[in-house]
Amino acid sequence: MSADTWWKNGIVYQIYPRSFQDSNGDGIGDLDGIRARLDYLVSLGIDAVWISPIYPSPMADFGYDISDFCDIDPRFGTLDGFDALVGDAHSRGLRVILDFVPNHTSDRHPWFVQSRSARSDRRRNWYLWRDPAPDGGPPNNWVSNFGGPAWTLDPSTGQYYGHSFLKEQPDLNWRNPEVRAAMYEVLRFWLRRGVDGFRVDVLSQIIKDAQFRDNPPNPDFVEGQDPFHRWLMLYNTDLPEVQQIVAEMRRVVDAFSDTHSSRVLIGELYLPFARLVAYYGLNAQGALEGVQLPFNFQLIATEWQAARIDRLVRDYEAALPPGAAPNWVLGNHDKPRIASRVGQQMARIAAMLLLTLRGTPTLYYGDEIGMTDVPIPADEVQDPFEKNKPGMGLGRDPERTPMQWSAAASAGFTTGTPWLRLAADWRTHNVEAQSHDEAGSMLALYRHLIALRRAQPALNRGSYEALAAEDEVLAYARNGEGQRLVVLLNFGAASAPMSPALLPRQPIVLASTDPARAEFIKGPLVLAPYEGVVIGAVVDKAATMR
Ligand code: NOJ
C-alpha cells in the first residue's frame, strides 16, 4: 500500500480511550493500556487508530472539554507515554489519528479564564461574547446541543458567552485570526510528534453568523422530539465561510505530508450528502483542498432495509466529486451500537456491508465482537447529555462501556472498578472467547472480511456497481484490476434464490456471514435468511491465500 493513499485503502478503528484498556487499576482506560493492545489491533488487520480526546480536561464532556490542547490528561498518561505509543504503533505499521476539537475549549482553559476576566482583556474576542437582549435574556434563540440556550450570562462582565454544547464548553471565535493561528499551532504540535492525522470535531459548526441572527423554526419539528430540533441551524452551522477554514487546516496538515507519510483530516459532519460533499473542497482547478474524509454517517441513520441502503449508496456515489475518497461508518461513541440497532444477526450483514463497500471503513471499538448497548441505571449515569435531557434515549453511556477482553475480572479491562459498568454477558461475550470460535464468532467474521478486503484489490480500491436483485437482497459488484467480486446481502427473514446471471463463471464463496456455508456452490445459489456472501471466481481464492 503506497504511503500517500493509506487513508483511502486502509481501515480506521476508533478507540474511546476511557473504555479500551486500563493499565493502572484506576478503572479508566489509558494510553499504556492502548499500547498493550496494539498486537490485538494488528491481528485484527486495521490500519489506523483514531483515539478520542486524551488531553487535560475537567471531563464535563469526557475529554471534549479541553483545558490544554498540547498535553495529555494524567488520567490517560503523559506526553512521553504518548510518544511511546506512537512509536510502538508506527513500528507495527499502524497509524495514529487524534481528535482535534476546534469549536470549543473547556471553561477552565487559560484562554477562556482570561477572556472572561474583563471586557478589555486581550483574549476577550477569542470567544463569542454578546450583550444581553433588551429584556436581559440571551442574545438570540440558538440552543445548545446538550439542552437549554446556547448562551450563558457571565455576571461579572455582564455579557453572555456562546456555547454549542455545555456551558463548560465555550465556543471559540473562529472569525478571529489569532484564534485560527493558535489552533493551527495545536495541529502542528501534534504533527511534529508524528501523528498521522486528525478527526475534527463538529467541523460544520465552528463558524457562526457574523450578525448572530435568530434561527428560523423547523417546520418538521414534532412535539416530544429533542427540543434541539425546534430550530433549523441556519445561522450556526455549515456557513459558507467554514470552507475557507477547512482549506487552511488542510494546508497546515499537508505541510507535514511527504511521500512516506501523508497526514489526513477526517471531518465529523452530520450533513446530507449534498452538503457533506462540499467538505472535500473541490476548487475551480478541480483539486480537492478540503478534508480528505468527510465522515459519511448515513448508515447510522438509515432504515435497515436493502432498498434503502441500495439507494443510499447510489446517491452517495453520484454525489462524490471527481477523485474524492468515499468512506462509511457504522457507529461511534455518540450513537447506539450497530448490534443493538439491528440485532446480532443483522450486525453480521452490516459488517460485510461496511467492509465491502467502496470507501474507507471506520470501526468502533467492540463492534467487532458484537458488543451491545448496556442499560445504565439512573444513579450510574455519567454522560451530561443524559443528565440534561433524561429519559429521551439520548444518553451515550450505553455505547461507551468497557471493552470485553476476556473472562478475567472486569473483563480484563481493569484490575480496579470500571468507570462505567460492563455488559451483563461479558463473561461469555469477549475477545478471548470469540478468538477460540474461529468459524462462527463475530470477531472471526470481522477478521476474515478485513483480511479479504486487504487481499482483494477489487474490494479495497475497485469501483462500485449496483446490481438488481430480489426485493430484500442488496446486490453489488466491486470491479478492479481485472477482478469482479459480487456481494449479495439478504436482509430478509426468508431464503432468497439468486439468479445465476448475477454470478461469475466458476463462482466461489470468499466469505459468508453464515459459518455453515460451503465454499463451492453446487447448483443455484440460495441465500439463507439474513445471509451475506462475497462471491468471486475460483482465481480470486488464490489471491486471498497469498
Ligand atoms: C462531538 C463528539 O463526538 C461528542 O462526543 C461531543 O460531545 C461533542 N462533539 C462536543 O465536543
Is the CB of residue 15 less than 8 Å from the CB of residue 300? Answer: no
Confirm if 443 and 403 have CB atoms less than 8 A apart. Answer: no
Cα–ligand 1 centroid distance for 201 (angstroms)? 7
In this predicted model, what pLDDT tens digit does every residue of 405-443 receive, in sequence order?
999 999 999 999 999 999 999 999 999 999 999 889 999
d(CA 97, CA 358): 21
| Residue 444 alpha carbon to ligand 1 centre in Å | 31
Domains and CATH numbers, the chain: 5-105+177-445 (3.20.20.80), 110-162 (3.90.400.10), 463-545 (2.60.40.1180)
- Helix ranges restricted to H, 6-53: 6-9, 31-36, 38-44
| Cα 332 to ligand 1 centroid, rounded to whole Å | 11
pLDDT of residue 2: 46
One-letter amino acid identity for 28?
A: I
264, 197 contact by CB (below 8 A): yes
Number of alpha helices (DSSP H) and beta strands (DSSP E) in the chain: 17, 18
Atom of ligand 1 nearest to the CA of 61: 7
Q: How far is CA 239 from CA 162, 243, 245, in A?
A: 17, 8, 11
Pocket test for ligand 1, best of 59, 61, 387 (most atoms within 8 A of CB): 61
Query: Cβ(503)–Cβ(479) under 8 Å?
Result: no
The CA 336 to ligand 1 mean position distance, Å, reads 14
- Which residue CA neighbors atom 11 of ligand 1 most closely? 64
Counting from 1 in the atom list of ligand 1, the atom nearest the Cα of 385 is 7
Q: What is the pLDDT of residues 218-276, one digit of tens each?
A: 999 999 889 999 999 999 999 999 999 999 999 999 999 987 789 999 999 999 999 99
Site to probe by mutation for ligand 1, drawn from 14, 334, 386 as the one with most ligand atoms within 8 Å of Cβ, is 334
C-alpha cell at 100: 482535534
Tell me the C-alpha distance between 467 and 478, whole Å: 10
| 3-class DSSP assignment, residue 533 | strand
The CA distances from residue 210 to 128, 173, 213, 236, 342, in Å, are 10, 10, 8, 10, 42
Q: Which of 64, 145, 386 is the best mutation target for the ligand 1 pocket, counting ligand atoms within 8 Å of the beta carbon and taking the most?
A: 64
Ligand 1 atom at minimal distance to the Cα of residue 103:
11
> How far apart are the CA of 479 and the centre of ligand 1, in A?
37
- pTM (predicted TM-score): 0.97
Nearest CA to ligand 1 atom 6: 64
HSE at residue 263, side-chain half, CA atoms within 13 A, is 24
Give residue 243's identity as a one-letter amino acid code. Answer: Q
How many Å lie between the centroid of ligand 1 and the Cα of residue 174?
18
Residue with the three cell numbers 486500563: 22
* Ligand 1 atom 8, closest CA: 64
How far apart CA 436 and CA 369 sit, in angstroms, is 12
User: Residue 164 CA: which ligand 1 atom is closest?
Assistant: 10
In this prediction, residue 543 carries a pLDDT of 61
> Smallest Cα–Cα separation from 527: which of 539, 516, 538, 541?
516
Residue minimizing CA distance to atom 4 of ligand 1: 334
Kindly report the protein residue whose alpha carbon is nearest to atom 10 of ligand 1.
64
Q: List, edge to edge, every strand of the sheet that includes 197-200.
A: 293-294, 264-267, 197-200, 95-100, 48-51, 12-15, 360-364, 327-329
pLDDT of res. 541: 67
pLDDT of residue 523: 86
The Cα 59–Cα 73 span in angstroms is: 10
Report the 10 Å Cβ neighbour count for 301: 10
Stretches in the chain below the pLDDT threshold 50: 1-2
Identify the CA nearest to 394 among candidates 335, 332, 333, 329.
335
Q: How far apart are the C-alpha atoms of 132 and 186, rounded to whole Å?
A: 32
Ligand 1 atom closest to Cα of 146?
7
**Shortest-distance atom of ligand 1 to CA 101:** 11
Of the residues 202, 205, 266, which should be mutated to test ligand 1's pocket, given the most ligand atoms within 8 Å of the CB? 202
Report how far ligand 1's centroid is from the alpha carbon of 327 (Å). 20
411 Cα to the center of ligand 1, angstroms: 27
Q: Whose CA is nearest to atom 2 of ligand 1?
A: 201
Q: Which atom of ligand 1 is nearest to the CA of 64?
A: 11
Residues facing 100 on adjacent strands:
200
Residues tagged active-site = 201, 268
Ligand 1 pocket by C-beta < 6 Å: which residues? 61, 64, 101, 165, 201-202, 268, 333-334
By alpha-carbon position, which residue is closest to atom 5 of ligand 1? 334
Q: CA dist 325 to 5, 236, 307, 358, 483, Å?
A: 10, 27, 24, 9, 20
| pLDDT attached to residue 469 | 73
Distance 64 CA to ligand 1 centre (A): 6
- pLDDT at residue 439 in the model: 83
